[in-house]
Structure 1
Amino acid sequence: MDTPPLTDCGPPPTSPDALLARLTALGIGHVTHHHAPAFTVEESRAHRGDLPGGHCKNLFLKDKKGQFWLVVALEEAPVALNSLDRIIGSARLSFASPDRLWEHLGVRPGSVTPFALVNDTGRRVNVVLQQAMMEFDPLHYHPLVNDRTTAVTPDGLLRFIRACGHEPRIVDFGRPGEGK
């Protein structure tokens, strides 16, 4: 079944306010900062100022067997798709289309986040977290839109992901000097 073009996808399945309410209901502490929309790591750096903690990037990927992967890592971590597949046990990886991103996670490009797992009710997305990222507190992610950044603890992130019905894999990848 073809997905509708991204321009026809309508409102997001979960609003940022509903997401934050869910974090609160789960007992997960969070702080949200508003800023200009940030579509790239570089734009995020420019907008966030000196917020402490781990600042992250999120890659929504598809493997050649049709499985979907959300890979979450520190923003400066090198992520080499040609070796990540072997590390995580997937088939050859490539970036999934914006339409697939909307279909599975209910967010648009530039807003990819582990918080979008709230929209993966079919549990079709495999979740991979960088081990080095989990050593930072707090961790920063977009709350489904890219004009805000929400900080949570690593334990809060894990609790949220598990409450969404996913069991994340914490993997050692993306260390400085890798993928070059």
Structure 2
Amino acid sequence: MATTPEELFRYLSVQGIEVSTVTHPPLFTVADSQALRGTIPGAHTKNLFAKDKKGRHFLVVADEEAQIDLKALSKMLGAAGRLSFASPEAMMELLGVTPGAVTAFGVINDESRRVEVVLDRTLLSHDMVNCHPLTNEATTSLRPADLMAFFRSTGHEPLVLDLPAPEARPENPSDTQGDA
């Protein structure tokens, strides 16, 4: 059975991790989040739950503004082939959440340690990091050091990376072909 937000908050308290939480209407996208969250200070996360061709699962926790090149990231991770989005069934089984509620806190449900956490280094430079507390109807703020402590307490040592951005593509392909 998946951990509830209330159980998550108790777990964080036992770990000595201080958080503050704001409730709001359900948010399904970064755009929804930016429009409805108000003025919650700190970095806001976007999360990608991906898998490779051999069934390795990755939870990518990035700054909401990050544009991630999945092809380059798969190479950085040594993934088998390209990364693709994991199924809603795998999301529920491994993270205990549904699409639209993927969160860094989901690894509390991955007791078998099948999910590898990839953390955007940018998040560590902020005073606070904001994540959904296993529901997209709230936002929980904590210090980056406490987010790292949370991951470690669940047996997930995050791989901290400078996430690759998509390469810039010229607007006009002929611009890169030289003079005619």
TM-score (norm. length: structure 2): 0.89
Distance 1:19 1:94, change over 3 A: same
Secondary structure of residue in 2 paired with 1:166? coil
Q: Distance in 2 between matches of 1:132 and 1:159?
A: 17
Q: Do the aligned residues in 2 keep the contact of 1:55 with 1:74 (CA within 8 Å)?
A: yes
Q: What code does the residue aligned with 1:93 have?
A: L
The total of aligned residue pairs comes to 167
User: Once the 2 structures are TM-superposed, how far is the Cα of residue 117 of structure 1 from its aligned partner?
Assistant: 0.5
Structure 2 match to 1:124: 114
| Residues 11-50 of structure 1: pairs in structure 2 closer than 5 A | 13-50=2-39
Structure 1 match to 2:158: 168
1:154 to 118, 141, 144: 144
Structure 2 match to 1:58: 47
Q: Say which one has the larger Rg.
A: 2
Q: What code does the residue aligned with 2:121 have?
A: Q
Q: Distance in 2 between matches of 1:111 and 1:26?
A: 23
Structure 1 match to 2:95: 105
1:76 to 57, 65, 70: 65
Query: Tell me, which stretches of 5 or more residues in structure 2 are unaligned?
Result: 169-180
TM-score (norm. length: structure 1): 0.89
User: Once the 2 structures are TM-superposed, how far is the Cα of residue 88 of structure 1 from its aligned partner?
Assistant: 2.2
State the identity as a percent: 47
Structure 1 residue runs of 4 or more that deviate by more than 4 Å after TM superposition: none
Q: Do the aligned residues in 1 keep the contact of 2:61 with 2:119 (CA within 8 Å)?
A: yes
User: Once the 2 structures are TM-superposed, how far is the Cα of residue 174 of structure 1 from its aligned partner?
Assistant: 4.1
Superimposed CA distance per residue, residues 104-156 of structure 1 (whole angstroms, 9 cap, x where no aligned partner): 11100111011111100000000000111211121000000000000011110
Q: Do the aligned residues in 1 keep the contact of 2:46 with 2:63 (CA within 8 Å)?
A: yes
Q: Do the aligned residues in 2 keep the contact of 1:78 with 1:179 (CA within 8 Å)?
A: no
Q: What code does the residue aligned with 1:142 have?
A: H
Q: Distance in 1 between matches of 2:74 and 2:16?
A: 34
Q: Distance in 2 between matches of 1:179 and 1:148?
A: 34
User: Once the 2 structures are TM-superposed, how far is the Cα of residue 62 of structure 1 from its aligned partner?
Assistant: 0.5
Q: Do the aligned residues in 2 keep the contact of 1:130 with 1:174 (CA within 8 Å)?
A: no
Q: Do the aligned residues in 2 keep the contact of 1:88 with 1:171 (CA within 8 Å)?
A: no
Superimposed CA distance per residue, residues 21-79 of structure 1 (whole angstroms, 9 cap, x where no aligned partner): 11111001100000000000010111111211101100000101110000000011011
Query: Tell me, which stretches of 5 or more residues in structure 1 are unaligned?
Result: 1-11
Q: What code does the residue aligned with 1:167 have?
A: E
